[in-house]
Copies of this chain bind each other. A is one copy, B any other.
């Protein structure tokens, strides 16, 4: 069982949320998104990002426009559609709920270990 794989799997499913968040700041193109993610210590590769952007565009959550670049090839700048904004809010709620769920499990584990520890102490006394 591989910690690196666990990190990858944990990342799955939240990237969509993170990308929509980043795009919600305003027009942005793929390479900048990658930098933002990396800056937040979420390492993602282009083979992941581009298909994801395509999926989101095809689902009507994103729009894009081509913008000529003064330092290389043209860039695809993405923005959220209204549907995208709505969906992002829903994802934010979902993410919060998930965090709370996990926190509850951790807290319950802590309490039950305390209970078990107290029980053992009583048995020794």
Contacts and interface: CB of A to CB of B under 8 A. Distances in A.
A64 interface: no
Interface residues of A, number: 50
Interface string A11-43: 111101110011011100000000011011110
Contacts of A26: 112-113, 116
A97 interface: yes
A101 B16 contact: no
Contacts of A42: 98, 101-102, 105
A109 B22 contact: yes
A104 B18 CA distance: 10
Contact of A109 (B9, B21, B60, B102): B21
B9 A16 contact: yes
A108 B40 contact: yes
Interface in A34-75: 36-37, 39-42, 55-56, 59-61
13 contacts: A1-B55, A3-B87, A6-B13, A6-B17, A6-B90, A10-B94, A10-B98, A22-B105, A25-B112, A26-B113, A41-B104, A42-B98, A42-B105
